[in-house]
Structure 1
Amino acid sequence: MRVTLLSPAKVNLGLKVIRRRSDGYHEVETVLQTVALFDRLVLTRGEPGINLMAPAGLPQGRENLCFIAAESFYGRTSLDPAISIELTKNIPVEAGLGGGSSNAAHVLLGLNALYGSPLEIGELEFLAAHIGSDVPFFLRGGTARATGRGEVITALPDLNPRWLRIIKPPFGLATAQVYAEWQPVASSSNVHLHNDLEAAALKLRPELRELKALLAEDGAELSLLCGSGSAICGFYEERPTRALRLAEGFREYVVPTLTAAECQANILRGESAL
């Protein structure tokens, strides 16, 4: 038995860092939005064990969130592990687009589908929250508010459709590095359309300012750092068509936002949707 899933990226429509916590995490409030940039996962029941096939350069085995998600599922259900997971990456890493978290969530969803839904959604959410901060969000997708360290999810009405131009520079930014650079400052109480981590990312990589200026010249309504970076996204009412002149090593993605219903529709028809 086999299932193919599309695993979407996310952007942050706003991110407010509230405080550093005693457990080393940060208390945040953020609004998350799925977008139509996908990795693909193929899960096949068969040989004993958890067999992960991930692209070179990514964490392998127990260092990969897909493997951790599978271990969590089998541990919760007491089923004997017998799964092959093939991961095809399109979402860039160290970009703030949540690719690894999305992959983990979709491994949980795919395994649950393959085994006849032994876990209720609440149990999947419990597992997801212990895997990583953004993982619970990707079980549903769409538009949602995340609080705590990002694992407490409240669904929001779907965003009016928007197009995004996402630019990923040739360098990444590690989440821990950006949070270490973050300094608390007085900011708006409104979480929307502002990212408290942007100042830290710009301090670490001042050249990101040039991307924000480029998107402004292109007519973007707004540009924001994606999560903790390093990608920058511009928001548009209509699909941007102007070609941007980007330096070597920079990658560009022009994608629409995705509703929760669209995310769910893509779970079991990944082969035709990618």
Structure 2
Amino acid sequence: PVEAGLGGGSSNAATALYAANTLCGNPASPEDLIEWSADLGSDITFFLGPTGSAYCTGRGEVIEPLDPLPNLRLYVVKPEMGLSTPLVFKTLAASGYSTLSERDPREDLLASFVHGAPGPEDYVNDLEPPAFDLEPSLAAIKAKLLDLSPAAMMSGSGTSLFAVLSPDQSPDPDFPAAFEQACRDDLGLNVQLFDVCFAKRDGHDSWYAPP
């Protein structure tokens, strides 16, 4: 979905670039596509990388592939409202960047992989405060997710939020409908909740292979 903070537009752009190269007989190498994608827009490079996990810097176009994430389940919640990414960044800038985390994200991320699944303290999103200022209902949705898991956060610039289940938690088939109903009853919000898992891939072509 658009305006979700899930890289939907970037993944579509990466797919279009990959498809154009395939239809032309693959004149460009995977490395060429990655280089060109950096000039087309933010985050596209990630969807052309060799793995499903990466440490990304810059505008999201500089990637450092990582080993796949642990096989954990998570819930992703998409409210019906959206937020403009430029507006969220503009609001962050207007705050004087006073809410930015001082942690070293690379060291935190790599350390969490060494110890297995990332813990709740490993999730940081500096775009949450400005997004919540623009759309306070997002904070209310996050509060409901925190009742389920301490590893809950907004994704990207919003408006999707996620909650990572612990290894000893199993997805409840009745939870999505119950959560959506609770958001309607308690918050007056229409949301969709999806039961998903971390994506894994082996090689540049695996995400684009026929099912």
TM-score by length of 2: 0.78
Residue aligning to 1:216: 146
Matched with 2:26 is 117
1:267 aligned partner: 208
Partner of 2:69: 159
Paired with 1:200 and 1:226, the residues of 2 have a C-alpha distance of: 13
User: 1:151 offset after TM fit, Å?
Assistant: 0.9
For 2:190 and 2:205, how far apart are their aligned partners in 1?
Answer: 33
Runs of 5+ in structure 2 lacking a partner?
Answer: 106-121
> What TM-score, normalized to structure 1?
0.61
Does the Cα contact within 8 Å between 1:223 and 1:232 map onto a contact in 2?
A: yes
Paired AA for residue 265 in structure 1: S
Provide closer, same or farther for how the CA distance between residues 226 and 263 of structure 1 changes in structure 2, counting only shifts above 3 A.
Answer: farther
Unaligned runs of at least 5 residues, structure 1:
1-91
Q: How far off is 1:115 after superposition?
A: 2.5
Structure 2 match to 1:196: 126
- Report the equivalent of 2:111: none
Q: Tell me the equivalent position of 1:187.
A: 101
Change (3 A) 1:258 1:172: same
Matching of residue 240 in structure 1 with residue 180 in structure 2 = no
**In 1, are the aligned partners of 2:101 and 2:124 still within 8 Å (CA)?**
no
**CA displacement at 1:261 relative to structure 2:** 2.2
CA distance in structure 2 between the partners assigned to 1:199 and 1:150 by the alignment: 20
Structure 1 residue identity aligned to 2:123: L
Runs of 4 or more above 6 Å deviation: none
> Aligned pair 1:205/2:119, yes or no?
no
Superposed displacement of residue 120, structure 1: 1.2
Alignment of 1:82-97 (within 5 A): 92-97=1-6
Question: Deviation per CA, 1:202-244, whole angstroms, max 9, x where unpaired?
Answer: 1111111111111122x22411111000111111134421231
3-state DSSP of counterpart to 1:220: coil
Q: Matched residues in 2 for 1:110 and 1:143: separation? A: 22
Aligned residue in 2 for 1:86? none
C-alpha distance in 2, partners of 1:263/1:230? 29
What whole-Å deviation, never above 9, does each CA across 1:24-68 have from its counterpart, x for those lacking one?
A: xxxxxxxxxxxxxxxxxxxxxxxxxxxxxxxxxxxxxxxxxxxxx
CA distance in 1, matches of 2:19, 2:170: 32
Q: Is the 8 Å Cα contact of residues 166 and 254 (structure 1) preserved in structure 2? A: yes
Give the Cα separation in 2 of the matches to 1:239 and 1:138. Answer: 28
Distance in 2 between residues matched to 1:178 and 1:156, nearest whole Å = 28
2:41 equivalent to 1:126 = no
> CA separation in 1, counterparts of 2:160 and 2:66?
24
Higher helix share: 2
Kept in 2: contact 1:142–1:263 (CA 8 A)? no
Taking the aligned partners of 1:156 and 1:200, their CA distance within structure 2 comes to: 29
Letter in 1 for 2:156: G
For the residue of structure 2 that corresponds to 1:260, the secondary structure is: coil
Q: Quick one: distance in 2 between partners of 1:187 and 1:207? A: 23
Which letter does structure 2 place at the counterpart of 1:103? N
Q: CA deviation at 1:193?
A: 0.8
Counterpart residue number, 2:196: 255
Structure (1/2) with the larger strand percentage: 1
What secondary structure, in the 3-state scheme, does the structure 1 residue paired with 2:202 have?
A: helix
How many corresponding residue pairs? 178
Contact 2:82 2:159 in 1 (8 A): yes
**Identical aligned pairs, as a percentage?**
35
Q: Secondary structure at the match of 1:233?
A: strand
The aligned counterpart of 1:13 is none
